[in-house]
């Protein structure tokens, strides 16, 4: 039986990894970054703010959306999407600009190049970036967010496993 490096790594990660479907899983990685959010989370509460995040393969975008934002549609590319919402009582909150930086690392520790850029659409402000992914590759995203006119930096980490078919 042939075992490549990915197979060996897959055997070493927690059994929860095997139980996961196409989404992500919570993995405590090897660096000293922020604690990972639960595997099914798509937001994290920071008091007056909520940071929403998601990552998906870019082939899930419509052709028009991909073209509008200059993103290549492919099962071998993943897009990170982050937004900052300031809580406002009695509303769903207000989208606010800020400073957003992100990095992506696979389970072998390889740092992936990820540039995040701001997108404004109507009253919404969000941050996107894309990165190459291999089939069955799990990426650990580390995100740092500072809302405009704030001094506090909010950090979070989440993982997603990608399937390129």
d(CA 123, CA 114): 25
Half-sphere exposure of 118 (CA within 13 A, CB side): 13
d(CA 24, CA 71): 22
What is residue 48's predicted lDDT score, i.e. its pLDDT?
95
For Cα atoms 103, 117, 68, give the angle at the middle one, nearest 5 degrees. 125
Identify the CA nearest to 40 among candidates 49, 53, 57: 53
d(CA 138, CA 159): 7
What is the full per-residue pLDDT of the chain (165 aa) written as tens digits?
A: 333 333 323 323 222 222 333 333 333 444 455 667 776 779 999 999 999 999 999 999 999 999 999 999 999 999 999 999 999 999 999 999 999 999 999 999 999 989 999 999 999 999 999 999 999 999 999 999 999 999 999 999 999 999 987
| pTM, 2 dp | 0.76
- Look up the CATH number of the domain holding residue 82: 2.60.40.3340
Count of domains observed in the chain: 1
d(CA 132, CA 8): 22
- Domain of residue 55, residue span: 5-162
What string of DSSP letters covers 50-90? EEEEEEEEGGGS-HHHHHHTT----TTEEEEEEEEEE--TT
């Amino acid at each position: 039986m042939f075992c490549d490096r990915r197979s060996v790594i897959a055997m070493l990660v927690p059994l929860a990894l095997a139980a996961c479907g196409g989404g992500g899983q919570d993995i405590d990685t090897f660096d000293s970054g922020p604690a990972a959010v639960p595997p099914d989370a798509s937001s994290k509460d920071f008091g007056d703010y909520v940071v929403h995040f998601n990552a998906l393969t870019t082939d899930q975008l419509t052709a028009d959306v991909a073209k509008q934002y200059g993103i290549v549609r492919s099962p071998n590319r993943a897009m990170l999407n982050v937004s900052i919402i300031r809580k406002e009582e009695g509303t769903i909150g207000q989208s606010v600009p800020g400073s957003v930086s992100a990095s992506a690392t696979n389970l072998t520790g390889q740092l992936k190049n990820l540039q995040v850029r701001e997108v404004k659409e109507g009253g919404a402000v969000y941050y996107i970036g894309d990165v190459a992914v291999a089939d069955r590759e799990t990426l650990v995203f580390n995100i740092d967010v500072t809302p405009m006119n704030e001094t506090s930096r909010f950090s979070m980490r989440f993982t997603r496993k990608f399937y390129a078919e």
